Amino acid sequence: MKLKTTLLFTLLSLGVFAQQKSTGTLTFVSGLQASITLNSATSTATIVLSGPSNRWFACKFGSFTTGMQVTNDVVYYNGTTLVDATQTGGGPTNDATQNWTVTGNTVSGSTRTITATRAFSTGDSNDFTFVFANTTIDMAAAYGPTAGSFALEYHGGNRNKFIDTPINATLGLEKYSLDNAQVYPNPSKGDFTVKSEIYFSKVNVYTQTGAFVKTVEVENNDDNVEINISGLSTGVYLLEIVNDTQKSWKKVVVN
């Protein structure tokens, strides 16, 4: 019995959960917003940048003490897509390798919102390296003064900066983790539903002492699945909810 209990504790300890940290949405000046989110499970950063749809806009991030300081990492919208660049004395210079992957580019009213992702570390000396353990990041942003112009130019008062912008270090396990999956009704006769904000591929059922009972495969990697373990003896069972990168344990009672 002690061995089984120890084994089960080990299984519980091996659960892998995605952790995310974010600056939250920052408003630099009217009509210009940005956020950066870090995901430790995939070692990727996501930037969401919103600005006027009829001109260029840009965001700089990294570690700096003034505005558009040279040798800092910059992204900007050029009228077509988001460009990976480096701030130089004469303005941004496009990087030879474009490491940001645009996953969203939409317009609502007069505001364009672009979403893009890249690896924490790209191996490119021009790119800032995101470190998940960091609690702050310096950011600045600007947009062009002239409607209809996507040629980078002096931006006048259409700029602002946030030095030492906090990256929330206490987000921990977010709703987009299997750890927040819900099981209901509980207790039940053995028929219950598992609901999650993200997909899962299977549910492994164990007794309270760690003995394997059965696996329930989930069709089409669903996020809302009815599970039937009726016919089992009454008592407490443990569910291991699994997808490609995460797992979570839930306790259910069969009565």
Q: What are the tens digits of pLDDT across the range 4-28? A: 333 333 333 334 344 778 888 899 9
Domains 20-166 and 175-254 share a fold: yes
| Residue 241 and residue 203 in contact, taking contact as beta carbons nearer than 8 Å | yes
What pLDDT digit, counting tens, does each position of 204-251 carry? Answer: 999 988 899 999 888 776 667 888 888 889 999 999 998 877 888 889
- For the domain 175-254, what is the CATH code? 2.60.40.3080
Q: pLDDT tens across 47-62, in order? A: 999 999 999 999 999 9
Q: If you average pLDDT over residues 89-105, what whole number do you get?
A: 91
Angle, alpha carbons 127-78-152 (nearest 5°)? 85
Look at residue 126 and tell me whether its pLDDT is greater than 70: yes
Instruction: State CA 243 to chain mean position distance.
Output: 17
160: region left, alpha or beta (phi > 0 left; psi from -120 to 50 alpha)? beta
DSSP string over 161-212: EEEEEE--S---B-TTSGGG-EEESSSBSSEEEEE-SS---EEEEEETTS-E
Cis peptide preceding 185, ω within 30 of 0: yes
The CATH class of the 20-166 domain is mainly beta
pTM here is 0.61
Using the structure block, give the residue that is written with the tokens 């505005």.
Answer: 67
Residue with tokens 């549910």: 203
> Rounded distance, CA 245 to CA 212, Å?
21
pLDDT attached to residue 51: 96
Sorting pLDDT into bands at 50, 70 and 90, what band is 153?
confident
- The domain ranges of the chain are 20-166, 175-254
